[in-house]
């Protein structure tokens, strides 16, 4: 992959109207469940990023017919739970941990062998967290010695339901096991230590799968057939978060974000920014199926440092690169703890973000499970994104509060989640050189 960079002049703006791309997490899940359902489904608002297209291609390789009706809208002819065909190649999930972990749950219930792999970054991420409970369900899934992909999955005995307590809150592990539970005999129940994103549960219900809930526990009965439906995917709050922070830290800016998902298990970024003094108004609340959606009006705001509440960490885990930029622009010190999961993302996001902040003149210190950031003024300089799409987009926003040009290297991965990022940012006022 060609090494690319962003170069941004200081003191741009972030104002106007943002129509964020479709939610990446929901796009993956919609493709998967539509492929496993009985009948023909239509999905609107689909994110056509490299990550989601990898998921789509995997199901095409297993015999699922997909037709593009318009940009962002597809028709999926579901194969049913037991209608997938053996792929004739390794299933390449690119850079997507969501795709690999969720699809592993599906593949463990098939009667054919398969192999899941990805790029160098994905093949370095931990997969033991899904392999152990899948093996406890009876799956024959094998990892590399380091506990990483490629994952080899072989047809074994019939899966059986499991009553599993997640050692660490993880929507990907929970979702993987629920999808495997569709193929298992008996009930599969997952208990979370703290609530984490529930897009899989919402989408399973949209495809007519009955679930039982009690406190932080969800159960489903194996063998439940999914029924085709029509899904509209909200705008991605994780993608919008960069521009929300950009509008907050650039002077005299107001940004309207349209049709964005505000699922409470994902909206921690809004709560954290409001605690820092951000003016974010939520308007026109409504639902897309099971998912809450709204418009946001974001106005430039003087931010102040806070101790980020631990109960909001899981609900904002993907948005911390953007939140670190907000913290660097805030008056005082921001403390984050309980976020060790950031070290296992596309990069070690604690180390990569701290290194970048320091290179631009901000005081930032690593902790094993978080950071301490003292607000200041960004200077110019060069930042290595570590090939991490969210880090790259976050440091683009730093240019809005910088005194000199900022160059961000390793930005090619941005296409995995937000292929139109540069065009969108330019239209809103960022000054790409």
d(CA 386, CA 227): 41
Residue with tokens 């899966």: 159
d(CA 175, CA 129): 12
Helices 389-398 and 237-249: angle between axes, nearest 10 degrees: 20
User: 372: which strand partners?
Assistant: 335, 365
d(CA 45, CA 22): 5
d(CA 109, CA 399): 48
d(CA 66, CA 74): 7
Give yes or no for a contact between 93 and 122, defined as CB atoms under 8 angstroms apart: yes
If we measure between CA atoms, which residue out of 354, 350, 371, 370 comes closest to residue 362? 354
Give yes or no for a contact between 325 and 364, defined as CB atoms under 8 angstroms apart: no
- Whether the upstream peptide bond of residue 150 has omega within 30° of 0, thus cis, is yes
Angle CA 177–178–180, to nearest 5:
60
Alpha helix segments (H runs only) across 139-294: 171-181, 199-206, 237-249, 268-275
Residue 390, token pair as written in the block: 């969210």
Give yes or no for a contact between 98 and 25, defined as CB atoms under 8 angstroms apart: yes
- Active-site annotation, residues: 318
What sign does the dihedral 287-424-16-276 (CA atoms) show? positive
Angle CA 411–149–76, to nearest 5:
75
């Amino acid at each position: 992959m060609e090494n690319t960079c962003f170069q941004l002049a200081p003191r741009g703006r972030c104002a106007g109207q943002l129509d964020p791309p479709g939610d990446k997490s929901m796009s993956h899940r919609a493709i998967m469940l539509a492929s496993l359902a009985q009948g023909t489904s239509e999905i609107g608002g689909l994110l056509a990023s490299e990550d989601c297209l990898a998921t789509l291609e995997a199901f095409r390789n297993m015999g699922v017919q997909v037709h593009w009706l318009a940009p962002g809208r597809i028709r999926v002819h579901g194969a049913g739970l037991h209608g997938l065909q053996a792929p004739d190649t390794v299933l390449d999930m690119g850079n997507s941990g969501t795709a690999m972990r969720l699809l592993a749950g599906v593949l463990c219930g098939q009667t054919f062998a398969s192999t899941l792999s990805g790029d160098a970054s994905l093949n370095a991420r931990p997969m033991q967290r899904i392999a152990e409970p899948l093996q406890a369900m009876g799956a024959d899934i094998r990892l590399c010695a380091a506990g990483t992909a490629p994952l080899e999955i072989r047809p074994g005995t019939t899966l059986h339901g499991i009553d599993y307590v997640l050692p660490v809150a993880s929507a990907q592990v929970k979702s993987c096991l629920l999808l495997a539970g569709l193929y298992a005999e008996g009930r599969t129940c997952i208990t979370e230590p703290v609530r984490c994103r529930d897009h899989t549960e919402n989408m399973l219900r949209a495809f007519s799968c009955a679930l039982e809930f009690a406190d932080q526990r969800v159960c489903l009965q194996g063998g439940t057939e999914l029924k085709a439906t029509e899904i509209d995917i909200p705008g991605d709050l994780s993608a919008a978060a960069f521009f929300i922070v950009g509008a907050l830290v650039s002077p005299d800016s107001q940004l309207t974000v349209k049709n964005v998902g505000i699922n409470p298990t994902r909206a921690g970024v809004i709560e954290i920014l409001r605690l820092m003094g951000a003016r974010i108004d939520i308007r026109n609340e409504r639902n897309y199926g099971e998912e809450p959606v709204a418009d946001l009006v974001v106005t430039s705001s003087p931010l102040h440092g806070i101790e980020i509440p631990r109960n909001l960490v899981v609900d904002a885990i993907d948005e911390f690169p953007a939140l670190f930029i907000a913290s660097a622009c805030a008056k005082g010190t921001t403390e984050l703890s309980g976020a060790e999961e950031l070290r296992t993302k596309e990069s070690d996001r604690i180390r990569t973000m701290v290194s970048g902040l320091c290179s631009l003149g901000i005081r930032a210190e690593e902790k094993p499970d978080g950071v301490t950031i003292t607000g200041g003024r960004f200077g110019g300089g060069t930042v290595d994104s570590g090939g991490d799409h969210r880090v790259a987009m976050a440091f683009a926003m730093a240019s809005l509060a910088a005194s000199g040009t900022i160059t961000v290297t390793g930005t090619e991965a941005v296409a995995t989640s937000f292929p139109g990022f540069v065009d969108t940012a330019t239209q809103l006022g960022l000054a790409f050189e």
